Every structure is written in C-alpha cells, then in structure tokens.
A = this chain, B = another copy of it.
Amino acid sequence: MGRWEPNARGRLAQAALTLYVEQGFEKTTVAEITARAGLTERTFFRHFADKREVLFYGSDMALGLLAGAIADAPASAAPIDAVAAALQAFSAVVQENPERARLRDAVVSANPELRERELIKLAAWASAMAGALRDRGIPALVASLAAETGIAAFKVAFTRWISEQGEPDLPRIIRESMEDLKSVLTDRAPV
C-alpha cells in the first residue's frame, strides 16, 4: 500500500470532473486524472473501480440517507411528507457543493451511457424509499406512488436548481416543487 494521501478521494474526484468537462468523459484516461491530481494510478484504484465510478460513488450513501430519513420521520408523518423530508435532507448535502453538482450534471448529461446510469441510480433511490415506507407499515401501492412521485419532483427541482442563476437553494426548490406538484394534481383549471 502507498502512503496515506490527504483527501486523495476528493482531489481525484475534482481532477476527474474538471477533465471530463474540459475534454469529455470518453477521452479522459485514469492516467490523466491522476497526473492532474498529483497522485498515482494505484491510489486512484484504491478509491474508485473505474473512471465512471467517480461520478457515482456517492449514490449508495445517498440511498442510505434517503431511506434513513424516511425511517426517522415522525410516526405521524404522511408518506409523501416522509419522502419530502428525505429529499430535503439529501438536497442539503448536495447544496454544500453546488459547483461539483453542476459540473457532474454537465458531464452526465453529455453522455448517453452516463445518463442511463443516472436513471438506474434514481430508480434505485425510489425503490429504497418505497421499501423504507413499507417498513413503516405503509401499503405497497401507496409507498411506491409516494416514492416514485418524490423522485419525479426531485428530478424537476434538480434541473431547475442547476439552471437557475445566482445562488439558488435546492432544499427550497424541492419544497416548492412538491407544492407545485400538489397544484398540478389538484387544480382542475387550465394553467
């Protein structure tokens, strides 16, 4: 094993994202990433299975956070409110580093294979949230509807957050998106 490198994972991720944006995900090699980060390939592979993993290593953590937040919601919380609370908790983490999220989104959007992987990630999150709701005694159908709808609202909110100028606040946008969703579903009048 090599010597311990302070924040190697963060430095590698930052170097990788920058290169993916600069020259494209496909064209970037692990050798270029490690050169940019001033680290060895050996260190890279201690942290990531491959160059794609740099974009998705947080997914499982996010999934755990979402399911955990639903489990921790007050017993009195309605399913959709437990989902909203989970998305709020997650979006507060995303909000800590908007620049990283923007770069990552630009890279993923530009590549069909990465967009597929992103869809799989979101489907896994919906599935985990539905499971956490069922564990609270919510019937399967309601659990799935609440979780899938939450992810739908999250996708829309995230896109809005990414494209807004200034310093938009993701937790706030998520909240508004969930409110908009209620209007969309209940307003009978044309918009």
Contacts and interface: CB of A to CB of B under 8 A. Distances in A.
A160 B141 contact: yes
Number of copies: 2
A145 B183 CA distance: 10
B181 A149 contact: yes
Contacts of A160: 141
A87 to B, nearest CB: 14
A10 to B, nearest CB: 29
A142 B191 contact: yes
Interface stretch (A47-55, A71-79, A97-105): A71-79
Interface in A144-174: 144-146, 148-149, 151-153, 155-156, 159-160
A42 interface: no
A139 interface: yes
**A-side interface size class:** 35 or more
Interface stretch (A17-25, A26-34, A56-64, A116-124): A116-124
Contacts of A1: none
Contacts of A190: 75-78
Given A145-B156, A185-B185, 14 more contacts: A78-B188, A78-B190, A79-B184, A81-B188, A141-B160, A141-B180, A142-B184, A144-B156, A145-B177, A149-B149, A149-B153, A149-B185, A181-B185, A182-B186
24 contacts: A75-B190, A77-B190, A78-B184, A78-B187, A78-B190, A80-B184, A116-B116, A119-B120, A138-B191, A142-B191, A144-B159, A145-B153, A145-B156, A145-B184, A146-B184, A148-B153, A148-B155, A149-B152, A149-B181, A149-B185, A151-B152, A181-B185, A182-B185, A185-B185
